[in-house]
Structure 1
Amino acid sequence: MRRRDALGLLAAPLLLPHRAAAQGWAPTRPVSMVVPFPPGGPTDLAARVVQQPMQAALGQTVIIDNRPGATGAIGSRYVAGQPADGHSLLVAASGTLTINPVIMRSPGYDVERDFAPVTLVMTAPNMLVVHPSIPARTVPEVVAWMKTIAGGPAYASSGVGSSEQLGMELFKLLTGTEAVAVPFAGGPAAATAVIQNQAPIAVLNAATVGTHVASGALRGIAICGPNRFPQLPAVPTMAEQGLPDHVSGSWTAIVAPAATPAPILDRLNEVIVAALKTPEVTERLARVGFAVDATDRPTLARLIAADLARWRRVVRDARIDLI
C-alpha cells in the first residue's frame, strides 16, 4: 500500500461528526490501557493520571497493562492485534509511534495501518545543552564552536533511535556541523555525561535536564519546539535563533486498533480530554516537566504523519543504521 493511501486510511474515520453516537457508547467489560514500558516512567504516568477519571466517566474498570520490551514494540504489536471495539488502547510514546517504524527493520506493526488516533496526552520539548565550560551561549556560537573541532565534538546520546539522538542528528543536518555520538543508557545517564564533560554537548529532553539547567550544571542553548519551556522561560527556542525547522521532543498519545468505529473513538477522546483538562492532572504532569496537550483526533493524526516524515528524512540523510 502506498504511504499516501495509508495516511488516508488513518485520517478517514476523522472526517464525519459522530458526537451524538459517541455519547451513547459505553464499554461492556474492563478497558485495558496497554503501556509498552515498565511501571514508573512518563508513559506509565500518562496512563495512570487518566485511569480514575476514565473509570468514573465510562462506568467501567480501566486496567493498566504494562507490556514492556523492544522500545515499545511488544506492547504495540499486542494492541494492534486486539479487537477493535474500544476495550484495548495503547498509551504510546512518540518514539514508539514515529521513530520505531523508521529505524527498526521489523517493528511488527504499521502505525498508519494498524492504529487509529484517540488523543495526544502530553508533550515535552528537547533542549540543546552544553557543558558550562563551552564558549557558546547561542545557537550561532555553538555552530561556530563545533566547526573549530576536527570531526566535531563528542555528543551524548540517550540511545540509538531516541528522539534526543535524532534531534542532534537533525541539528547537524540543518547547520552543516559534525559531531560523534557517544551512547549512554538513557537520558539521565547522557545528562550526567554532559555535566561531567565526558561529552560536552547533547540534545536531551527538557523534562530530564530542566533542573540541571536551572542549577547551572548545564547551559541551556535552545528549546527544540515552537514555544519556550515554562520552567525555563529564559532559554530561547531554535526558531528564535534562526532554526525554525528544528523541532524535536517527546510526547505521549493514546491510540486504538485501526478498525475501531469512529463513535467509540470520539467517546474515548471526549472522556480522556476532559480528564486531562482538570487542574489535578495538569499540575501532576507539570511536576515532572510535561505539559498537557489534549487534542482532537485529526490533530493527532497530523502530528503522527509529520513526525514520521521528519524522522524518515533524518534517518535517511544522516545515514543512521537500522536496528
Structure 2
Amino acid sequence: MAGAASAPSLLAPSIVRAQSFPARPISLVVPYPAGGPTDAIARFVAQEMSSSIGQNVLVDNRAGASGAVGTRAVAHGAADGYTIIFGNNQTHGNNMFLLKEPGYDAVKDFAPLCGVGAFEHAFVVRNDLPAKTIAELVALAKADPGKLNYGSTGVGSGSHLAMELFMQRTGIKMTHVPFRGAAPLVQEIVGGRIDIANSTLPSVLEQINAGSMRALALASPERNPRAKDIPTLREQGVSNADADSWAAFFAPAATPAPILGQLSKAVMAAIAKPAITESILKLGFTLKVRDPDAFKPYHLQEIATWKQIIADAGVKPE
C-alpha cells in the first residue's frame, strides 16, 4: 500500500514538467557551420516550431570533429527537452566507427524525434576539369592514380564514404581533402582548387544551376525532380554505388517521454506545413518523414550497412 501510495508522487514531477513545457526557449544544435543545407533545413523547422509551441527555437551551430563536437555536447547535456539536435548518418552513425573517441553512443545516448529524409549525393566537378561524364572521370583518374583530389564535409561524412564506395566500385584512386562542412567545400570547388566532390545535392544545386560548377551524376536510384538533367550513376554504367545521407532530429535519451512526444509532434507538424515542405524540397532534399517508432529500425539498419562499407573501404578511425 505504501508503494502504491507513493507512485503518484514519483510520477508527479515528470507530469508537471511535461505540462509546463516549454517554459523557455529551446536550443536546436546544428553540428556544422552556418550556411549549409543542414543548417538551412534546421532553420526552416525552427522558425515554424517557434510559432507553434509559443517559445523561440534557436539554432546553435557547433561545428567540429565531423559533427562530433556539437553531438557530444547534446548527448551529455541536460535531458530536459530544451536542447535538441539535427543530426545525420555521420553524427549519429558513421562517427561511431571513424572516430577513435566520439564521446557518445549514437543509439544509447539519443532518442529520435523524427526522421526527415535524405540528402542525395551529386558528383560535381570544377568547371575546367576535362571530364563531362562519369566514364571520362574514371578514365582521367585511372590515367594518373591519386592526382585528382576530392573534397568532403569531413572524415566519415556521407560525402566521404560515398566517394570511397564509388572508388571501390570503379577501381580508381583519388586524394581526400576533408572540410568542416558544406559551405567551405563548395567555395573551393567554385574556386577551382578542388577537382571533384560527391556532395549532397542541396549543398551544390544553386551553384550547378548558376553554372559555377558542373554535375556529372546523381548517386541515387532515380533522377531528382529538381535536377532532371543530371543522370544517375546507374544510367552511366556504375551499379551498387548509390549513397543517400539521411537526416533526423534527436533529443538526449533520458528526456522524459511526455516531452519527447511533444517535441516529436512539433517537429513533424512543422515539416508538414506546405510552406516548409516546399522550402525544403527546393533545396533538392528528398523528404521521407518517419516517426520515432518507424525511424528506430531504419536507424539501426543504416548503421549496420555503413559499418560494413567502412570496413570494406579500409577506412581507419582517427
- Does TM, scored on the shorter chain, surpass 0.5? yes
Q: Measure how far apart 1:39 and its partner are.
A: 4.5
Q: Measure how far apart 1:133 and its partner are.
A: 5.7
Match of 1:180 among 151, 175, 183: 175
2:11 is matched with which residue? none
* Partner deviation per Cα, 1:105-164 (whole Å, 9 max, x = no partner): 1111000111111112353211113455666544445434433x1425412213433322
* Partner deviation per Cα, 1:227-256 (whole Å, 9 max, x = no partner): 323331111223444545323344432111
Q: Measure how far apart 1:312 and its partner are.
A: 2.4
Change (3 A) 1:74 1:186: closer
* Partner deviation per Cα, 1:160-180 (whole Å, 9 max, x = no partner): 333222211110112222222
Query: Is residue 28–residue 86 contact of structure 2 (8 Å, CA) maintained in 1?
Result: yes
Matches of 2:68 and 2:166, distance apart in 1: 27
Letter in 2 for 1:316: A
Q: Do structure 1's residue 222 and structure 2's residue 221 form an aligned pair?
A: no
Q: Do structure 1's residue 143 and structure 2's residue 138 form an aligned pair?
A: yes
Matches of 2:195 and 2:34, distance apart in 1: 31
1:33 is matched with which residue? 27
* Partner deviation per Cα, 1:253-303 (whole Å, 9 max, x = no partner): 211122345554343222211111212212333454434443222343244
Query: Is residue 38–residue 66 contact of structure 1 (8 Å, CA) maintained in 2?
Result: yes
Question: Where do 5+ consecutive residues of structure 1 fail to align?
Answer: 1-20
Larger radius of gyration: 2
Question: Where do 5+ consecutive residues of structure 2 fail to align?
Answer: 1-14
Match of 2:280 among 278, 285, 302: 285
Change (3 A) 1:68 1:212: closer
Match of 1:301 among 268, 290, 296: 296
Change (3 A) 1:97 1:34: same
Change (3 A) 1:224 1:211: same
Identity across the alignment (%): 36
Q: Do structure 1's residue 204 and structure 2's residue 199 form an aligned pair?
A: yes
Change (3 A) 1:62 1:206: closer
Classify the secondary structure of the residue corresponding to 2:228. Answer: coil
Q: Measure how far apart 1:221 and its partner are.
A: 2.1
1:95 is matched with which residue? 90
Letter in 2 for 1:161: G
Query: Is residue 30–residue 62 contact of structure 1 (8 Å, CA) maintained in 2?
Result: no
Taking the TM superposition and a 5 Å limit, the aligned residue runs for 1:90-129 are 90-121=85-116, 123-129=118-124
Matches of 2:148 and 2:131, distance apart in 1: 16
Query: Is residue 32–residue 180 contact of structure 2 (8 Å, CA) maintained in 1?
Result: no
Change (3 A) 1:53 1:174: same
TM-score, L = length of structure 2: 0.77
Query: Is residue 156–residue 184 contact of structure 1 (8 Å, CA) maintained in 2?
Result: no
Classify the secondary structure of the residue corresponding to 2:155. Answer: coil
Q: Do structure 1's residue 157 and structure 2's residue 151 form an aligned pair?
A: yes
Classify the secondary structure of the residue corresponding to 2:280. Answer: helix
Matches of 1:194 and 1:53, distance apart in 2: 33
Query: Is residue 167–residue 248 contact of structure 1 (8 Å, CA) maintained in 2?
Result: yes
Matches of 1:319 and 1:32, distance apart in 2: 40
TM-score, L = length of structure 1: 0.76
Letter in 1 for 2:123: L
Matches of 2:188 and 2:57, distance apart in 1: 40
Query: Is residue 115–residue 288 contact of structure 2 (8 Å, CA) maintained in 1?
Result: yes
Matches of 1:75 and 1:190, distance apart in 2: 20
2:265 is matched with which residue? 270
Letter in 2 for 1:117: P
Matches of 1:50 and 1:209, distance apart in 2: 21
Matches of 2:145 and 2:22, distance apart in 1: 60
